[in-house]
Amino acid sequence: MANEALVKNGTPIVWANSGDYSSTGSGYTRTHQMNPGGLGSDQAWQGVKADLGATRARVYAVYACVSFDSSPTAGGIVEVWWSESADATAGVGNTGGASGTDLGYTPDYEEWKEQLRRIGALAVTADNGVAERQFIGFLYPQQRYGMPIIINIANTDFTTDGIERYIAIVPLINEVQ
């Protein structure tokens, strides 16, 4: 009898704002807080620390959605990074100087991001008011805990409402049948 190695999606971990996020456009249910509302160009934001589990997927597919106050520069980007930790406490053991809380990422990100794990970047269009939704890349976490950090390099500010804004990591689980 032949065996097949299949991949199934686990339960997504989703960072979004509890005050105004709606899963209508994405289908993802918010699990963790992240509210970079009004995040300016050349600024960074971090979500709260999440527990991926003692037993976790080896790889996660990462998706992001943002929207802007005015038309961004076509080809501008929003970078997505990962800070990881072996400790559940918000401010303990985080790479890249992350706090583990829903706050602006205040270290000089050009210097400190090199201590983070780069996931990828969302390339934006020059369309105002459009939810920019993309697959960003794959995350291979080495630690149980972590949080996303986003850097806005799109030459315009995020909208203040976060109806569609999120970062989602979807566990890709290998299954042999």
CATH number for the domain that contains residue 86:
2.60.120
Stretch among 93-107, 118-132, 133-147 having the lowest mean pLDDT: 118-132
- In whole angstroms, what is the distance from residue 56 CA to residue 136 CA? 20
CB 78 within 8 A of CB 157: no
Domain for residue 6, yes or no?
A: no
Domain count, the chain: 1
Range of the domain at 129: 11-169
Domain for residue 62, yes or no?
A: yes
Domain for residue 118, yes or no?
A: yes
Domain for residue 176, yes or no?
A: no
Distance (Å) of CA 142 to CA 2, 4, 22, 93, 165: 32, 27, 31, 13, 26
Whether pTM exceeds 0.85: yes
Report the percentage of the chain scoring pLDDT > 70.
99
pLDDT at 58: 96
Domain for residue 4, yes or no?
A: no
pLDDT at 78: 96
